[in-house]
Amino acid sequence: MSISLCSHEISKGGKGSLLSVTLQITSLALADLFQGYHSGWSASFDNLSALASNSEQS
């Protein structure tokens, strides 16, 4: 079990946009929970990056 708070901000940056994400997590269980968050967020950002790259090529 965990409690998390995620905030994000999208702003102008250089030649495009800048995405800033802050994730705060408190685990009420074992520390292994944090690896799950890391894996999930990493996959999400990889997918977002791939989507942005494909949009630039269109």
Separation CA 47–CA 41 (nearest Å)? 10
**Residue-range domain boundaries for the chain:** 2-57
Separation CA 36–CA 2 (nearest Å)? 11
CA 22 to chain centre: 8
Q: What is the pLDDT of residues 35-55, one digit of tens each?
A: 888 899 999 999 998 998 887
What is the DSSP secondary-structure string of 19-36?
EEEEEEEEESS-TTHHHH
CB 20 within 8 A of CB 9: yes
Q: What is the pLDDT of residues 19-32, one digit of tens each?
A: 999 999 988 877 77
